C-alpha cells in the first residue's frame, strides 16, 4: 500500500523544483536581461485606452526614441512609480507610451484621472497577448526603444530616479537630451 503520509513530502518536492526554476528565472538584482534587447520591438495594434473605438499601433512610434511602460491600475508598484513617470513626461526627453496590461478600462481611466496621465497614449492590452510578446514578467516594466525600433534597454520593476539617470539618460542621444 502507498503511504499516504508521503503525499506532503511529494508535494513539497514538486514545489521545491518550481521554486528552483523560479530562482533561475529571477531577475538579477532588479535588472533582467531581456532576450528582446538588440532585437526589433514587437509590433502591436490595440484599442486606445482613452477612446476604445480608436486603434493605436506601434507603427506610429517609428523614427523617435520611446519608452514603453507596462502598467495596470491593479498594480501597487505602478502607483509608486507614477510620480517618476510624471517627471519623465515633464522632462520631455523621451516619448512615453503606456501599455495597460490586463486591466479594466474604466478603472484604468480613473487611475490616470486621479494620479495624472503621463502618457502620450495608452494601449489597452486586455487579454495580455501583447505583454506576452514583449516578455513582460510582472508590472511595472519599461522598455526603451530607439528610432530604428530596436529595444535597447528593459527596466524590470519600478523605474526609479537612479535607473532613469544611470541607465536611460545615457542611452538617449545628446541632441535629444539638449532639448526640452
Whose cell is 506610429? That residue is 60
Q: Toward other proteins, which CB reaches closer, 3 or 53?
A: 3
Give, as ranges, the residues between 121 and 140 that touch other proteins (CB under 8 A). Answer: 128, 131-132, 136-139
Is the CB of residue 71 less than 8 Å from the CB of residue 98?
Answer: yes
Q: Toward other proteins, which CB reaches closer, 93 or 109?
A: 109
Interface pick for other proteins out of 161, 170, 173, 179 (rule CB under 8 A): 161
- Judged by CB under 8 A, the stretch of 1-9, 44-52, 55-63, 92-100 that binds other proteins is 1-9
Residue 19 within binding range of other proteins, rule CB under 8 A: yes
Q: Toward other proteins, which CB reaches closer, 104 or 120?
A: 104
| 3-state SS class at 1 | coil
CA-wise closest residue to 136 among 152, 155, 159: 155
Burial of 113 (0-12, 13-18, 19+ CB in 10 A): exposed
Is the CB of residue 119 less than 8 Å from the CB of residue 96?
Answer: yes
- Judged by CB under 8 A, the stretch of 47-55, 145-153, 154-162, 169-177 that binds other proteins is 154-162
Cis peptide bond N-terminal to 140, omega within 30: yes
Give, as ranges, the residues between 58 and 117 that touch other proteins (CB under 8 A). Answer: 72, 74, 76-77, 79-80, 83, 86, 101-102, 110, 113-116
Sign of dihedral through CA atoms 169, 172, 173, 175? negative
- Judged by CB under 8 A, the stretch of 15-23, 48-56, 89-97, 166-174 that binds other proteins is 15-23
CA distances from 32 to 25, 37, 70, 131 (A): 9, 10, 15, 16
Per CB under 8 A, residues contacting other proteins are: 3, 5-6, 8-9, 12-13, 15-23, 25-30, 72, 74, 76-77, 79-80, 83, 86, 101-102, 110, 113-116, 128, 131-132, 136-139, 156-157, 161
Amino acid at each position: 500500500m502507498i503511504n499516504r503520509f508521503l503525499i506532503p513530502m511529494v508535494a513539497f518536492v514538486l514545489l521545491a523544483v518550481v521554486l528552483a526554476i523560479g530562482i533561475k528565472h529571477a531577475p538579477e538584482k532588479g535588472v533582467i536581461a531581456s532576450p528582446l534587447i538588440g532585437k526589433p520591438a514587437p509590433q502591436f495594434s490595440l484599442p486606445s485606452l482613452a477612446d476604445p473605438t480608436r486603434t493605436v499601433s506601434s507603427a506610429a512610434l517609428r523614427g523617435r526614441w520611446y519608452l514603453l511602460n507596462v502598467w495596470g491600475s491593479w498594480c501597487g508598484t505602478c502607483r509608486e512609480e507614477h510620480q517618476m513617470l510624471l517627471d519623465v513626461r515633464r522632462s520631455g526627453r523621451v516619448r512615453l507610451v503606456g501599455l495597460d496590461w490586463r486591466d479594466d478600462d474604466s478603472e484604468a481611466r480613473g487611475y490616470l484621472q486621479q494620479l495624472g496621465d503621463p502618457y502620450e497614449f495608452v494601449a489597452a492590452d486586455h487579454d495580455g497577448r501583447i505583454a506576452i510578446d514583449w516578455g513582460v514578467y510582472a508590472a511595472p516594466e519599461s522598455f526603451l526603444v530607439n528610432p530604428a525600433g530596436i529595444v535597447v534597454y528593459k527596466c524590470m520593476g519600478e523605474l526609479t530616479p537612479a535607473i532613469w539617470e544611470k541607465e536611460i539618460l545615457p542611452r538617449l542621444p545628446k541632441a535629444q537630451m539638449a532639448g526640452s
